[in-house]
Structure 1
Amino acid sequence: MTVRMSKPWASLSRENIAGLGAHMGVYEVQDSSEHTVFIGYAGGKSLFGLRGELERELGRLGTGHRFRCEVNTQYMTRYKELLMVHQADLGELPRDNRDSAPRLGRLRPE
């Protein structure tokens, strides 16, 4: 199993978000330059799960972004793992995670 998210990217739009369920999981948001700008999660307290979190991201960022997500009940572990992979690959956290990221360890993905 790879530690990087491998799901395909989809346009961050109301139509694509509407098809998501109210599941717990993790997601990545990418800008039009194909840079990951945010990695987030939908936890047990998230209203409408992944759908609700991505609707919030659409409201915050507007159109012109893409997303991908994974349903995962171990969302907090997976969230931290994705942040560590991003940091290992690019040397920094995504732009919108820099001020609010949890304490992270180091990961050396192969």
Structure 2
Amino acid sequence: MALRLRLDKPWQPLTAETAARLPGQLGVYQVADSRGTIVYIGQAGARSPFGLRSELQREVAERPPGHQFRVEINQQYRTRWFELLMVHQADHGSLPADNARNPPPNLGRLSPS
């Protein structure tokens, strides 16, 4: 079985309705613009009151219409968040635009195939 590093779930429209249907579980998520360019990779951790639902509701409030998202429920959300950031950096040569404004400290390097 091959290890899947990239988050490849289908995109959903970033709206109040879709965010409200998300579970209150821990995990990671990606936000993309209308063209599918990932602009942010986030995590819903222990400080998110309602997990992924809270984080995506915040994203809806902060972003203009037309964005999309995808999520992955994951109890090891912090490790998975770092992994997704490193994969994006390896694939594109940089972090997503909104992560680059406040990069996590000591992000390692990953060479996915």
How does the TM-score come out when normalised to structure 1? 0.96
Picking from 7, 10, 17, the partner of 2:9 is 7
SS in 1 for 2:31: strand
Any unmatched runs of 5+ in structure 2?
Answer: none
> What is the distance in 1 between the residues matched to 2:81 and 2:103?
10
Structural mapping, 1:1-110, within 5 Å? 1-102=3-104, 103-110=106-113
How does the TM-score come out when normalised to structure 2? 0.94
> What is the distance in 2 between the residues matched to 1:4 and 1:55?
23
Question: What is the aligned length?
Answer: 110
Once the two structures are TM-superposed, the CA of residue 99 in structure 1 deviates from its matched residue by 2.3
RMSD: 0.8
Once the two structures are TM-superposed, the CA of residue 22 in structure 1 deviates from its matched residue by 0.7
Any unmatched runs of 5+ in structure 1?
Answer: none
Once the two structures are superposed, residues 9-58 of structure 1 have per-residue CA deviations (whole angstroms, 9 ceiling, x without a partner) of: 00001111111111000000000121100000000111211000001011
